[in-house]
Amino acid sequence: MENIVFFNKDFTGVDDKQYKKLGIRGRRAADLAKMGLPIAPGFIIDADLTMKLPKVNVKQLIKTFVDKIEKDMKKGYGDSEKPLLLKVVLSSDLNVPFFPSIHNVGLNDKVVTGFAKFTGEDFAWGEYRFLLRSIASKIYGIDEKELDELEGKLPKNAKAKEYKEVVAKYKKFLGDKFSEDVYDQLGLILKGAAARYCDSDIDVDNSLAITIQAMVYGNFGQNSFAGNYFTRNIITGDALIQGEFLQNEFDVDRGSPKDIAKIDKKYYDKLVEIAKKVEDNFKEIRNIKFTIEEGNFWLIEQREVDEKSTQAHIKTLLDLHTRKVIQPEFLIESIKPSQLNELLHPVIDPRTTKNVKSIKGGIAGSTGAAIGRVFFSTDRLLEEYKRAVMHGGDTNLILVMPATYAEDVKAIEVARGVITSEGGFSSHAPVVARSLGKVAMVQPEMKIRGNSFTLAGKTIKEGDYVSINVPYYEPPTIYLDKVGLIEPDFEKNGLIDFLKIVQSYIKDFDVRANADQPRDAK
């Protein structure tokens, strides 16, 4: 069937025309498979066929491809002894949260008992309930509040007994929208998803594709793991994988994950090997999700990493250049000149932020990171700065005001950073901060009252510490406490090595600078 693409580690790819019809999530899976990596097998219904699903015999359409998944996984779809469960992932060419994923497709009253032998009854029946709720809300659009009422007051750590009662309620509620026959069940989900999508208000030029992939579980015993990781450190760019894992747990959101470096060495070495192959293929840092089920290693998906720092991006490109994976021209063209400013400033150390309340959002005024005590007027900040200098106190201060004017420049000059609640990139505080090499951001949601501000329900008073992170690559973040900084090191952050490569393409050039004060000219 030319409109359905099966993928596993032996996948050889498709032509460009069909590749474009696989949706974002489908293309990500296909890319991993084409590299010969051990991805959990599945198949993709392309955009042309997805629109026709409500009117076709789905079982007849997909049976052959489900058989292939069964063969690869050595499991049976609908088999209660060693059940194969599937996930259904909708994605278009738009990376938007509207499109759902449905997990554990294939569970029914018979299969759930066999599934429970591997995971325990509580988990198995909890996933059954999750499947039914997902069908109700994501496929048929039933309001979450209505479903909450249907479930009643389900305990946070509910047991199989409570889940069984809820499952019975859902089955009665859904009626013929759910089937005990696993192929009819999958067909109802696929048809319902396609029909609902066609009725949506989102214009994606008929680009919706559907990926059906084998589910694998990290909670099948002590030789099972679940985790995700970056192919290298996304802040420093060091060529060491960065991530988390859990042993005998379904995924890293359901427990207290450990650092990926602590996983068994044989698995760690495999993750490192995969990271190198993935970076070489995509020529950038990627995030990879994996599961080890009873010792069997499976990749689930990979994605782009928008949250990487400029330092990490440059160091990745430099490593690829050293290994002759990319040419110098590609390296230079991949870095925007405005990004280089980030390398001149400190960055937040992510290891110090885990237990600190943070609020992301606002407008980046001047990139960098800063930590300091907040003051709400130029006079008070200058007064505190002088006092700190005289008595050996902490001179790290941050100016917080609705807006700044010419008379506030002295405070910006001695402060580490400035936060305003009004204005934008071209307003006074960001412009002055950029000229002085200071960090600045605008947070319109911040409410300033006297000597305090409130943001996301938290109040910060004069003298309290905050930390601000204003990167090039994502919206700024305010941390409502003191966190750690990583100071710039031009020998290590890649700037000098990058400029050496750029220099080989430049015969001569003039250096000019903006000097607002005599000492700036020096």
Which of 192, 214, 236 finishes a domain? 214
171 in the same domain as 209: yes
Last residue of a domain, one of 214, 243, 272: 214
Domain-located, residue 33: yes
User: How much is the pLDDT for 383?
Assistant: 98
**Percent of the chain whose pLDDT exceeds 90:** 78
The answer to whether residue 281 sits within a structural domain is yes
Q: CA 12 to CA 8: how far, in whole Å?
A: 9
Question: Do 248 and 380 fall within a single domain?
Answer: no
Residue 405 belongs to some domain of the structure: yes
Q: Are 134 and 280 contained in the same domain?
A: no
Task: Give the per-residue pLDDT at 346.
Answer: 87
Residue 522 pLDDT more than 80?
no
Please calculate the CA angle 162-163-168 and round it to the nearest 5 degrees: 105
**For the chain, what is the mean pLDDT?**
92
Check whether residue 194 and residue 236 sit in a common domain: no
Using one digit for the tens of pLDDT, what is the confidence trace for 396-454?
Answer: 999 999 999 999 999 999 999 999 999 999 999 999 999 898 999 999 999 999 999 99
CA distance 61 to 211: 14
Q: Are residues 285 and 409 in the same domain?
A: no
Q: What is the pLDDT of residue 203?
A: 47
pLDDT of residue 473: 77
pLDDT score, position 514: 73
Q: At what angle do helices 121-134 and 160-174 cross, to 10 degrees?
A: 20
CATH value at residue 33: 3.30.1490.20
Average pLDDT rounded to a whole number, residues 467-484: 92
Confidence of residue 463 (pLDDT cuts 50, 70, 90): very high
Residue 326 corresponds to which tokens in the numbers above? 């990319």
Lookup result for tokens 């790819």: 13
Residue 487 CB: number of other CB atoms within 10 A?
A: 10
Q: How many CB atoms lie within 10 A of CB 38?
A: 16
Q: How far apart are CA 408 and CA 427, in angstroms?
A: 13
* Separation between Cα atoms, residue 291 and residue 225, nearest integer Å: 6
283 occurs within a structural domain: yes
- Is residue 35 domain-shared with residue 126, that is, in the same domain? yes
Domain boundary, last residue among 193, 214, 235: 214
Instruction: Judge if 393 and 268 occupy the same domain.
Output: no
Question: Quick one: pLDDT at residue 201?
Answer: 56
Residue 420 forms part of a structural domain: yes
pLDDT per position as a tens digit, 376-385: 999 999 999 9
Read off the pTM: 0.84
Residues 248 and 355 in one domain: no
Domain annotation covers residue 242: yes
Nearest to 416 by CA among 353, 356, 487: 487
Q: Residues 209, 230: one domain?
A: no
The per-residue DSSP string of 220-278 comes to SSTT-EEEEEESS-TTT--SS-EEEEEESSS-GGGS--EEGGGS-HHHHHHHHHHHHHH
Lowest mean pLDDT among 153-162, 240-249, 271-280: 153-162
Query: How many helices (H) does the chain have, and how many strands (E)?
Result: 17, 25
The domain in which residue 388 lies consists of: 347-486
Residue range 225-231: mean pLDDT, rounded: 96
The CATH number that applies at residue 415 is 3.50.30.10
Q: 28 CB contacts (<8 Å, ≥6 apart)?
A: 301, 302, 303
Q: Is 179 inside a domain boundary?
A: yes
Q: Are residues 236 and 261 in the same domain?
A: yes
Same domain, 62 and 150: yes
Q: Is residue 141 part of a domain?
A: yes
Do 156 and 22 have their domain in common?
yes
- The total number of structural domains in the chain stands at 3
CA pair distance 265, 44, nearest whole angstrom? 34
Cα–Cα distance for residue pair 311/309, rounded to 1 Å: 5
Q: What pLDDT, on a 0 to 100 scale, did the predictor assign at position 30? A: 96
Q: What is the CATH number of the domain that holds 236?
A: 3.30.470.20
Q: Angle at which helices 23-34 and 265-282 pack, to 10 degrees? A: 110
Sign (positive/negative) of CA torsion 343, 344, 349, 350?
negative
